[in-house]
Amino acid sequence: METREEHYASMMQAVQRYAPSADLEEIQKAYEYADRKHKDQLRKSGEPYIIHPLAVAEIVAEIGLDTDAIVAALLHDCLEDTDASFDEISHMFGQTVAELVEGVTKLTRVQYSTTEEQQMENLRKMFMAMSKDIRVILIKIADRLHNTRTLQYQTPAKQISKSMETMEIYAPLAHRLGMQKIKWELEDVSLQYLDPEGYQQIIDYLHENEASAQNFMNAIQSKITDRLASVGIHGSIYGRVKHTYSIYRKMRAQNKTIDELYDLYAFRVIVDNIADCYNVLGHIHDLFNPIPGRFKDYISTPKPNMYQSLHTTVIGSQGIPFEVQIRTWEMHQTAEYGVAAHWKYKQNVGEGSEKEFEWVRRLLENQQDTEADDYIHSLKVDMFDDEVFVFTPKGKVMSLPSGSTPIDFAYAIHSAVGNTMIGAKVNNRIASYDQVLRNGDIVEVLTSKSAKGPSRDWLNICRSNQARIKIKQWFKREKRDENIIRGKASFESELRRIGVNPEIIQSEDVLPMVLKKVSFDCLEDMYAAIGFGGLTAVKAVGRIRDELTKAAKATTPKELLNLNKQQPTVDASGVIVEDIGSCMIKFSRCCTPVPGDDIIGFITKGYGVSVHRKDCPNAKSAMDPSQSGRWVKVTWAESPDATFTTALEVDSNDRDGLMLDVATILTSLRLRMNEMSARSVGSGRALVSLVFQVHNLTELQNVMARLRGISGVSAVRRAEG
């Protein structure tokens, strides 16, 4: 274990090498200050706490940031963990450093959450910090990188939660900022804890085949080196096996074993200028057979994160495909360290108005009109996905998320183009609205002044968040009356589903509370928001559920239900209640019935009809003569699109990777997960509890069968109680 003096020396060497213009005296002063403040603190590893700030500062120096950023990295935990104050740091090191430290501290206090609304707020805070000064997020990524490197000192539960957080937020963020080297390390180390067995299989394979892989790469490297030397092009050639998580992801996506994958090798040719990049490309295609459709020119069309390179995939003499990336030295720095390298060249670190960060402000703007689950989905598309590059008929290049359609293209041009769209042509042929665009496509949008506007179906077709936002804005503006009707129906249906009479909303005691909770001036505004998609009925009801159920408790069963003989009523929940008119229905949490189960209804006090499975222990215990008048006959209606909450318990060996295996099955079946937890029950056993949505009993039984196939699982049963 290295001493603090050795860590300090290593950090200063990195500063002198990668940030030669940095103020060494100021950095030393910051180190001494941080060392005093963290004097008696220790890391989980048992090392002095100062080792961590030194390591973070070294990473910040390696990516080429300036003195203020390096100083802030040394001080980044002082406000959180010591008696240091903002004013003290500002006085000693300047206002800029103090603001950087404060910015990192605020991000440190952001707790990772699986709830969509909290996650949206956390990400919003990150983007706010980025839009003010990009160095804040760069220091935070450096902080996360060192913490990831030292995860072995954390508990298994902490290792998994931190690795999930890294995979969900920090690795994609590093990718969007162009910091590929850091992204790869974050992904590889996180995979080590999330799927140790899968990770080790890849490592073992690469180790076993290391000699043959090295021979192959040496042969290719020599061939390229000789050709470039013969034509007078000065360049450096590097070969590598693709990183572990990249291989892991391809294995899962293609459902192949590692020895069935063909694209494991990548070569990088770095030259002095752009002209040489294209010259090298010609020679590569002369030496090896190029694979059609695998060439990408990111030099003439850079990625939004400023990445530039020529990419091509070719086949070597042994029939083994490999990728070649060709770039200049400056492009290489940007590819390795992204925006940090950009700032290094421009020396413009603090300015948040750079064109390159328009995407940050766009994500912040989109959040204002977007529901949490939509926003999280849009981030994964707009921020984390690959791009597709297409052309307008006049030759302008448009960058869209991979999987985009002509609808996305139209709204990327302008909202007016999308709103008047009546069709599209791709490569001069009429295309459907849902045709997936490919690199190099020429797209023409057909418009008409008499167009009726977008269809709601477009929301299910478009890929980009930009298009979704603009379509929803059109419906919000143009279809208010229709939105109110649609939203009111959805809202009241959701109320009935949870067992609340919609008429309660109109009560003079309840209405003011409802409007305050949902932050609208009147019910019509709330209905309109639900109608155009700016708010879901589930979220609106969720905000007022507790208050509404309290109000409903004062109502007796006879007041709640119309018990006169009537035609059977089909509730929005998908249940037919015999001999009862308009009534409220809720599904019992104790047995979570789904279509296909034999069910029975029980008239509750204040909650309408509670639907139970007939074999539910609670239902059986309540079937005594004194309660006979409260049981009613209920049956399932045809509702193929509806989903229902259900709960399972999985009994298994207590092992690493169990939670990931369970989650993978539900994800592969495209099921919505509500809750997931696990606990040790002794004797080497674990119990995993799941709450999720299914359409019917058949789908639930399929899930249970799949879960029983997991290694170590001994039983899967429906939860009761």
Which sequence positions are flagged as catalytic?
80-81
Q: Enter the tokens of residue 644.
A: 């229902």
Dist. CA 470–CA 287, nearest whole Å: 48
Q: Enter the tokens of residue 165.
A: 């957080």
Q: Helix (H) and strand (E) counts for the chain? A: 32, 22
Is there a contact between 213 and 261 (Cβ–Cβ < 8 Å)? no
Tracing tokens 């196939």 back to the chain, one arrives at 709
Dist. CA 608–CA 606, nearest whole Å: 6
Give the CA radius of gyration of the chain: 30
CA-CA-CA-CA torsion sign (454, 455, 458, 459): positive
Q: First and final CA of the chain: distance in angstroms?
A: 52
Is there a contact between 291 and 313 (Cβ–Cβ < 8 Å)? yes
What is the helix (H) or strand (E) element at residue 586, kind and residue range? Answer: strand 585-587
Is there a contact between 548 and 578 (Cβ–Cβ < 8 Å)? no
Dist. CA 574–CA 674, nearest whole Å: 20
Going from the C-alpha of 329 to that of each of 334, 337, 339, 499, the distances in angstroms are 9, 12, 15, 65
Dist. CA 635–CA 535, nearest whole Å: 31
Q: Count CA atoms closer than 13 A to 637's CA, side-chain side.
A: 15
CA-CA-CA-CA torsion sign (688, 691, 693, 698): positive
DSSP 418-437: HHTEEEEEETTEEE-TTPPP
Q: Enter the tokens of residue 375.
A: 């926003």
